[in-house]
Amino acid sequence: MDRSLVTAAVLFGLLLAMPFLLPLIGSAYLSGLIIKAMLLAIAAISLDLLIGRGGMISLGHAAFVGVGAYATAIALENGVDDIFLLLLITLAVTGLTALVSGSLALRTSGLYFLMITLAFGQMIYFTLTSLAAYGGDDGLTLWSLATVFGSNVLQGGNGLYYLVLGTLFATWWGVYRISRSRFGRVLRAARDNPERAEVMGYPVVRFRLIAYLIAAMIAGVSGLLLVQHAEFVSPALATWQRSGDLIVVIVLGGLATRNGAILGAFFIVIVEEVLGSFIHEWRLIYGPLLVLMVLFAKGGISHLLMPKGAKGYAS
Amino acid sequence: MSTTLFLILCLNGLQYGMLLFLIAAGLTLVFGVMGFINLAHGVQYMVGAYLAFAYVQLTGSFMLAVILSLVTALILGLLLEYFIFRHLYNRDHLDQVLATFGIIIFLNELAKVIFGPATLSIAPPEFLSGSIQLTETLRYPIYRFVTIFAGLVVALGLYLTISFTRIGMLIRAGATSAEMVSALGVNIQRLFMIVFGVGAMLAGFAGVIAAPIFAIEPGMGDNILIVAFVVIITGGMGSIGGAFFAALLVGLIDTLGRSLATEILSTVFNPSFANQIGPALASMLIYILMAAILVFRPKGLLPAKGVS
Contact A88, A35 (CB under 8 A): no
Nearest CB neighbour to B294, from listed A116, A289, A294:
A116
Q: Are A122 and B287 within 8 A, CB to CB?
A: yes
Measured between alpha carbons, how far is B237 from A115 in angstroms, rounded to an integer? 12
Q: What is the pLDDT of residues B244-261, one digit of tens each?
A: 999 999 999 999 998 888
Does any domain span residue A94?
Answer: yes
Q: For residue A281, which residues of chain B lie inside 8 Å, CB to CB?
A: 109, 112-113
The pLDDT score that the predictor gives to residue A257 is: 87
Measured between alpha carbons, how far is A205 from A217 in angstroms, rounded to an integer? 18
* Element containing residue B209 per DSSP (H, E): helix B188-210
Residue A308 has pLDDT above 50, yes or no: yes
Q: What is the pLDDT of residues B63-101, one digit of tens each?
A: 999 999 999 999 999 999 999 999 998 888 888 989 999
Does B1 or B201 have the greater pLDDT score?
B201
Measured between alpha carbons, how far is A250 from B95 in angstroms, rounded to an integer? 12
Residue B242 has pLDDT above 60, yes or no: yes
Is the CB of B109 inside 8 Å of chain A's CB atoms? yes
Give the residue on A whose Cα is nearest the Cα of B101: A244
What's the mean pLDDT when you consider all of chain B?
89
Look at A57-61, A215-219, A282-286 and tell me which has the smallest mean pLDDT. A282-286
Look at A209-218, A295-304, B81-90 and tell me which has the smallest mean pLDDT. A295-304
Does B5 or B229 have the greater pLDDT score?
B229
Contact A188, A29 (CB under 8 A): no
**Range(s) of the domain holding residue A229:** 30-237
Does any domain span residue A261?
Answer: no
Nearest CB neighbour to B277, from listed A118, A130, A289:
A130
Task: Provide ipTM, 2 decimals.
Answer: 0.85
Selected residues 214-273 of chain B with any CB under 8 Å from a CB in chain A: 222, 226, 229-230, 233, 237
Residue A302 has pLDDT above 70, yes or no: no
Of A121, A137, A141, nearest to A129 by C-alpha is: A137
Per-residue burial over A237-258, b = 16 or more CB atoms within 10 Å of its CB, e = otherwise: bbbbebbbbbbbbbbbbbbbbb
Average pLDDT rounded to a whole number, residues B207-220: 92
CA distance to A110, B89, B191, per residue, from B178 (Å): 20, 11, 10
Measured between alpha carbons, how far is B72 from B46 in angstroms, rounded to an integer? 13
* Tally of structural domains, chain A: 1
Give the DSSP letter of residue B184: T
The pLDDT score that the predictor gives to residue A26 is: 61
Q: What is the pLDDT of residues B142-180, one digit of tens each?
A: 888 899 999 999 999 999 998 899 999 988 888 778 888
Residue B306 has pLDDT above 70, yes or no: no
Does any domain span residue A131?
Answer: yes
CA distance to B154, B178, B180, per residue, from B188 (Å): 24, 7, 10
The SS3 call for residue B141 is strand
Q: For residue B105, which residues of chain A lie inside 8 Å, CB to CB?
A: 283, 286-287, 290
Q: Are B99 and A294 within 8 A, CB to CB?
A: yes
Residues on A contacting B at a C-beta cutoff of 8 Å: 51, 57, 59, 104, 107-108, 110-112, 114-116, 118-120, 122-123, 126-127, 129-130, 132-133, 240-241, 244, 247-248, 251, 255, 281, 283-284, 286-291, 293-295, 298
Q: For residue B37, which residues of chain A lie inside 8 Å, CB to CB?
A: 111, 114
The pLDDT score that the predictor gives to residue A254 is: 86
What's the mean pLDDT when you consider all of chain A?
89
Average pLDDT rounded to a whole number, residues A244-263: 90
Q: What is the pLDDT of residues B5-53, one digit of tens each?
A: 888 899 999 999 999 999 999 899 888 788 888 999 999 999 999 999 9
The SS3 call for residue A148 is strand
The pLDDT score that the predictor gives to residue B93 is: 85
Is the CB of B290 inside 8 Å of chain A's CB atoms? yes
Q: Are A294 and B287 within 8 A, CB to CB?
A: no
Average pLDDT rounded to a whole number, residues B212-240: 90
- Residues contacting B201, CB < 8 A, separation 6+: B26, B70, B73, B74, B77
The pLDDT score that the predictor gives to residue B100 is: 94
The pLDDT score that the predictor gives to residue A305 is: 64
Instruction: Assign A313 a pLDDT band (cuts: 50, 70, 90).
Output: very low
Q: What percentage of chain A carries pLDDT values higher than 70?
A: 93
Measured between alpha carbons, how far is B148 from A54 in angstroms, rounded to an integer? 44
Residue B284 has pLDDT above 90, yes or no: no
The amino acid occupying position B139 is R
Does any domain span residue A3?
Answer: no
Contact A220, A90 (CB under 8 A): yes
Domain B9-126+140-296 has CATH 1.10.3470: yes
